[in-house]
Chain A
Amino acid sequence: MTLLKTSIGRRSFLKTSALAGGGFMLSFSWLGACQTKPEDALAMPKEWFELNGYLKVGDNGVVTIMSPNPEIGQNVKTSMPMIVAEELDVDWKNVIVEQAPLNTDIFVRQLAGGSQSIRQGWKGLRMAGATARHMLREAAATTWNVPASEITTEAGMLHHKASGKSAGFGEMASAAAKLDVPKEVELKDNKDFKIIGTSRKNVDGPKIVTGKPLYGLDYRKEGMLIAMIAHAPAFGMKLKSVDDTEARSMPGIKDVFTIKSYEDDYPRQWCDVSSFPELVVVVGNSTWEVMNARKALKLEWEQFSDHSQTVSNFQGGSNDVKVPAGLENSAKHMQMMAQYATKSGKVVRKDGDPAKAFKNAAKVIERTYTAPFLAHNTMEPMNFFAHVTDDKAELVGPIQTPEFMEKSVSARIGLPLEKIDIQMSRMGGGFGRRLYGHFLVEVAVISQKMKAPVKLIYTREDDMSFGTYRPTYHAVYRAALDKDNNLVGFHVRAGGIPESPLFANRFPAGAVDNYLAEDWSIESNISVGAFRAPRSNFIAGAEQAFLDEVAEAAGKDPIDFRLDLLKRAQDNPVGENNDYEANRYAGVLELVKQKSNWGEDSSGTYRGVAAYFCHNTYVAHVLDLAMEDGKPRVQKVHCAVDCGIVVNPIAATNLCEGGSVDGIGHAMFSGLTFTDGVPDQQNFDKYRLVRHKEAPRAVDVHFVENGIDPTGLGEPPFPPVIGALANALYKATGKRQYNQPFMTEGIKLG
């Protein structure tokens, strides 16, 4: 049993209770309205009793649990309420899940990013369930006149053994709701978990497979208009002139105008990334009419000159960020990166005497790795709904950062935060793209101008050419081996446009006596942002492919080579600031070694291994690949994961499968290139994503069981699989792959 102080204040409860009278339920009028099985099968209570902001208990024992965080496919809408239900001790089949409203007085960190929802939500979610359970027990104790300590709970029932009394949660809910919030509550022992650690199906599954409206793009409201934007065709350009004569006269068109989503002097938040604040807007009755009218716009664009943007920082101040003029080209980018990599960068970490180690080395290995810009390409293109009136703004749609974007909308349309209501719809993918919500500001400005409810829709081309892309990266690795093939020196110099992918304190830092990490970056006007496992999504694959080559040069098995280094890092670490736990890192390698029968004959298939630690979770992959008609095809991915307690195994496994497929797909096929500032790929005819025929035939996922508090899974399975793929490709073809995507033109290995 763990005692936990309840940090949910009285204020939160009062506020929730006040909301419960009206606004609270109203805010669910759309998102909560489309009930399907199995919820339909549950009899609805006559009355609900809110025990805290996370949950309410019906008089019949049915429980509604709020899912606080945005759902982007990482399954938090199921797994977060599971944690509440566990501590409440309710039967999962009597639980209804609702997407919570944005309310940061009650809910902590309503953000989907950094694989942190479960990790940072863990205590608060448990506390919410445990607090309610405590109050129900107190209510029963008073009703039955027995000590609360003698009352046990099980699956939504309260029992008092000595007197033989029993009652359902629903019978005590009314009395419990009137009680004070306890100062501290008991949490279950892990061994008593009945829901956490068991597989529970996606609560939205029935709605997804029957096509019920769940996504932002599905939202509609009476009188709603459709809006689309036209932005500059190239990064580095701005609007010069608009001729909308023809577009205006087309059927179904209400208005055409230009907007600035962000004013020039507005201090942007980190999530306000947008290269195209000046937009031409077409508003009309239906999507097809607006699409056609937009094609009829005659727009002229011109290059902008060097300027700067004010971006606010977390300390409350602001920085001026330079935006260079010019129309950028990928070929030039590659030349510039190669050139920068020849010069010393900024030293971020240095252990020992790397120069001496390399000078005295028996063998030096140096390799260079690159990767292109990537577009996120969520399957649901960017979109948002807004209805802005003089005294309030209602916004509905897909956003990973509702709390932050509420501030941007507030600043732009001049309404205070409390007048702005953002509802989170299920998202057709996030991958980091929906951390950046310029489209919320855009639709709010459009609705304010139109004085009407408006849904803004991006086409795939808009989405792909108006991105917050994964930057393009470059890394040079050098390793020094002594005459006995020990790794005595390690040097990484990594950079990119416009940021470096380096994590200087990650493995193998801490495992090598002489270590040097340098980084550099080149300015650009192409907008970038977080993409599933930012920076790790490149540097892990590069590092793990390099270590494979070093192990080979040292004549060592690639798993044993890593385990030896990790043992060094655990027993006698170099430096003090190493960003990993060597024993857990080694643990996933040992697990994947065992589960893949590493070292045994795998006739006809070629194997590669890799491991990485990011976003608080350890993952190792062994990848089996075969050549089929001259093309590589992944036969199986063995994936070993240490994310501590696995809350919902079926969904956690799904995320590891998907992360592996996604990593393989991007490394193999995807890339965004630029010609004179224009993205060369703007739809799936040219931008390649992995498809059924190219996906691994199987993914086996294994979790380390250690009872440690859980960490996230949205990102960690993605980065290392790229290294495992590169290493398997080498075994299959005898050729190392250094530049992503590995398949050029999607058809042949580079």
Chain B
Amino acid sequence: MAVFNLNINGKQQQVDVDPSTPVLWVLRDHLNLTGTKFGCGIAMCGACTIHLDGNATRSCVLPVSSIGDKQITTIEGLSEEGDHPVQQAWLEHDVPQCGYCQAGQIMSAAALLKQNPSPSDEEIENAMNGNICRCGTYVRIKQAIKSASTTN
């Protein structure tokens, strides 16, 4: 066990955990931030996507010991009022079915739009390809990302 000081959603948080613990489980088990989802544990489904210094990162394979002073943003911290343009677009298009993967989808989409405010269809597909939606809401996800992009 070791103590880690983490910057999560703009706040300093301290946890005492095994250094190999993935950030996913630090968030979910130790900090009660359950918006970040467990899907596969091997970075193949994207449900656990967070931002690490603004970049979309799979938290299920990210040891807490590797974070240092990098800033973590989770779905809970994407916006204060739940009104990030991507979140608003998701509601506008009524994207979710079961909804379980959507936090990860939203985090990937928000990171994409930050780097590329008006992505093409192909760029959207490339950026989002690591996020599986088992309900098959891909068409709406793409529509929502286009709504939230500056091309719209």
- Residues of A that sit less than 8 Å from B by CB: 36-37, 72-75, 199, 201-202, 204-206, 208-215, 217-218, 220, 226, 251, 286-289, 292, 377-381, 426-431, 457, 459-461, 650-651, 654-655, 657-662, 665, 683-685, 689-693, 695-699
Is there an interface contact between A684 and B42, defined as CB atoms closer than 8 Å?
Answer: yes
Q: Is the CB of A654 within 8 A of B98?
A: no
| B residues near A460, Cβ cutoff 8 Å | 39-42, 45
Partner of B94, one of A288, A426, A651: A651
- B98 and A692 within 8 A (CB): no
- A36 neighbours in B (Cβ, 8 Å): 82
Q: Smallest distance from the beta carbon of A749 to chain B beta carbons, Å?
A: 20
Identify the closest chain A residue to B136 (Cβ).
Answer: A661
Given A202-B96, A292-B18, A692-B128, output 17 extra A-B contacts at Cβ < 8 Å.
A73-B97, A73-B99, A209-B91, A211-B35, A211-B36, A226-B29, A288-B17, A378-B98, A378-B100, A379-B37, A429-B134, A657-B137, A658-B97, A691-B138, A693-B129, A695-B139, A696-B139
Whether B113 is near chain A, meaning CB under 8 Å from some CB there, is no
Judge whether B72 is part of the interface by a CB distance below 8 angstroms.
no
Q: Mark B116-152, 1 if CB is under 8 A from A, else 0.
A: 0000010011101111111111111110000000000
Asked if residues A692 and B124 are in contact (CB atoms below 8 Å), the reply is: yes
B100 to A429, Cβ gap below 8 A?
yes
- Cross-chain contact B140 with A654 (CB below 8 angstroms): yes
A728 to B40 CA separation, bound complex (whole angstroms): 33
Q: How far is the CB of A74 from chain B (nearest CB, A)?
A: 7
Contact A209 B90 (CB under 8 A): yes
CB contact under 8 A between A379 and B97, given known A37-B82, A288-B21, A657-B137: no
Rounded to whole Å, the gap between the CB of B107 and the closest CB of chain A is: 9
Between A and B, 10 residue pairs with Cβ closer than 8 Å are A210-B76, A226-B29, A288-B17, A428-B37, A429-B134, A460-B40, A657-B136, A690-B136, A692-B125, A692-B128
Q: Return chain B residues, CB-CB under 8 Å to A698.
A: 139
**Would you call B87 and A210 a contact (CB within 8 A)?**
yes
Cβ contact of A215, chosen from B100, B121, B134, B139, cutoff 8 A: B100
Question: Please, which residues of chain A bring their CB within 8 A of the CB of B98?
Answer: 72-73, 378-380, 426-430
- A685 near B42: Cβ-Cβ < 8 Å: yes
Which of A378, A661, A685 contacts B138 (CB under 8 A)?
Answer: A661
A457 contacts across to B, CB distance below 8 A: 38
**Which of the residues B34, B44, B129 comes within 8 Å of A213, measured between beta carbons?**
B34
Of the candidates B37, B38, B139, which one forms a contact with A699 in the assembled complex, judged by CB atoms under 8 Å apart? Answer: B139
| CB nearest neighbor in A for B104 | A379
**Given A208-B96, A684-B44, A658–B142 Cβ distance below 8 Å?**
no
A658, B136: Cβ atoms closer than 8 Å? yes
Q: Are B29 and A287 in contact, CB atoms less than 8 angstroms apart? A: yes
Q: Which residues of B contact A684 (CB under 8 A)?
A: 39-40, 42, 44-45, 132
Pick the most buried of A201, A289, A379, A691: most chain B CB atoms within 10 A of its CB: A379
Taking a contact as CB atoms under 8 Å apart, the answer to whether B37 and A288 are in contact is no
Contact with A along B80-96 (1 / 0, CB 8 A): 00100001001100111
Set of chain A residues within 8 Å of B42, measured between Cβ atoms: 460, 683-685
B30 within 8 A of A: yes
Q: A residues within 8 A CB of B131? A: 692
CA distance A119 to B19 in the complex (A): 52
CB contact under 8 A between A206 and B91, given known A381-B38, A684-B42: yes
Closest 10 CB pairs of A and B: A211-B35, A428-B100, A661-B136, A73-B98, A211-B75, A695-B138, A684-B44, A73-B97, A208-B99, A658-B136
- Report yes or no: A289 in contact with B37, Cβ–Cβ below 8 A: no
A693 to B127, CA, bound (A): 10
Contacts of B130 in A (CB 8 A): 691
A373 to chain B, nearest CB (A): 17
A134 to B16, CA, bound (A): 59
Q: Are B94 and A692 in contact (CB under 8 A)?
A: no
